[in-house]
Amino acid sequence: MVCAVNLAHFTFFAADMYPESVIQFFHQTFGSAPAVVVRAPGRINLIGEHTDYNEGFVLPAAIDKAIWFAVSPRSDAQLHFHALDFQDAFLGQIKNLKKAENSWPNYLLGTFSELLKDGYQPGGVNVVFGGNIPSGAGLSSSAAVESGMLFALNELFGFGLDRPTLARLAQRAENNFVGMNCGIMDMFASLMGRKNHALKLDCRSLETEYFPVNLPDHTFILCDSGVKHQLVDSEYNTRRRECEEGVDILKTIFPEIHSLRDATPEMIFLEKKRFRDVVFQRCTFIAEENERVLNACNALKNNNLAGFGTMLYESHDGLQHAYEVTCPETDFLVAETRNDAAVLGARQMGGGFGGCTLNLVRRDAVSDFQKKMQTAYQSKWKNELKIYSAEITNGVETFVAE
């Protein structure tokens, strides 16, 4: 599953401050310019939810909300980290890596731990980082932190690691050191994103393919329900067991099936009587969602945005009724868009039970869309609706000041 951890300590909201503020703080703190400045983006997942742990396909993209790093090597083995946005610092030693009492340093320390396990020898570093990825919105600030730190270390110490390898190391850092059993999609999206393209990731082989996202007249808008993913861990485990139960049944009829990635909706429907109703629903959704990812890629390739938008609605319907991982607030947000001519499609994004909805909106109608949605949400739920734009950008990259 995607990294759904709620990083309350990653509160990166200071828009338009980066990277200048990170560079300036580094200079003030360490008395010199950083050796490397790195931008590590967050991500959206256009379509393909809960397909990752079923060895299926996902379609993420890097976005223009990012974490910025200013980094220089030290002459010793000390680690000096400064988290600019919440004004906190951490001092440690490479030779004595252990989990910090505060959570945030562990996302950096884990990258050193995994490099050392593979025989690489990073030296001490001075680090300042901060960014504008909204907290708790499901845009993968944790993956951006790990991916950006690894990219910077790779640049500084000349390890020569390619981006897929860095993504695997970033995942291991979160799995092994932070202790979050997340998948690899977020790291792949952050490291391997390409401007104006979506990245189709095969979660079985980790093969990737890019598809153009041409949006001269439309843009992606995120509506943040403000509902935290309170049930996601227990319900996630239940969904996994239900999918595994379905695979066990299908294997007895179709020996070639190793995961729901190998099943078609037709196969599942033919054997419907063998499944518990809930397992039938779960398996049908996954098989259909995998097909939707592939169809969405073709729609993007052919610049069929209307068809792509329809698939977003279909995905949400499946998440709501068959996989049952939405919540009343996100269902409401999607329902509010269905009769809006300026919206081509919308769906809940992420693991479920809260978070953001992803909306494909006509650019000239964004302001009206925002006002309408915020007014409706306030009236219904008595809560403020936060709204973010999301332009598709390149993955992790170095920054050179002009």
Confidence band for 14, pLDDT divided at 50, 70 and 90? very low
* Ramachandran sector of residue 326 (left: φ over 0; alpha: ψ -120 to 50; beta: rest): beta
- Does residue 226 carry a pLDDT above 70? yes
- Name residue, tokens 């485990």: 237
* pLDDT score of 9: 39
Q: Which of 193, 174, 219, 376 shows the shortest CA–CA distance to 309? A: 219
Confidence of residue 136 (pLDDT cuts 50, 70, 90): confident
What pLDDT does 12 receive? Answer: 39
* pLDDT tens-digit series, residues 166-192: 999 999 999 999 998 888 999 999 999
Does the structure show a pLDDT above 90 at 97?
A: yes
Mean pLDDT of 256-273: 97
Question: Percentage of residues in the chain with pLDDT exceeding 90?
Answer: 87
User: What are the residue ranges spanned by the domains of the chain?
Assistant: 20-213+393-398, 222-390
Report the catalytic residues.
186
Distances (CA, A) of 293 to 58, 76, 269, 336: 7, 48, 20, 24
Q: Domain 222-390: which CATH class?
A: alpha beta
**Is it the case that residue 5 has pLDDT exceeding 50?**
no
Report pLDDT for 16. 54
Tokens found for residue 309: 């938008």
What CATH number should be reported for the domain whose range is 20-213+393-398?
3.30.230.10
Cα gap 261→136, rounded to integer Å: 30
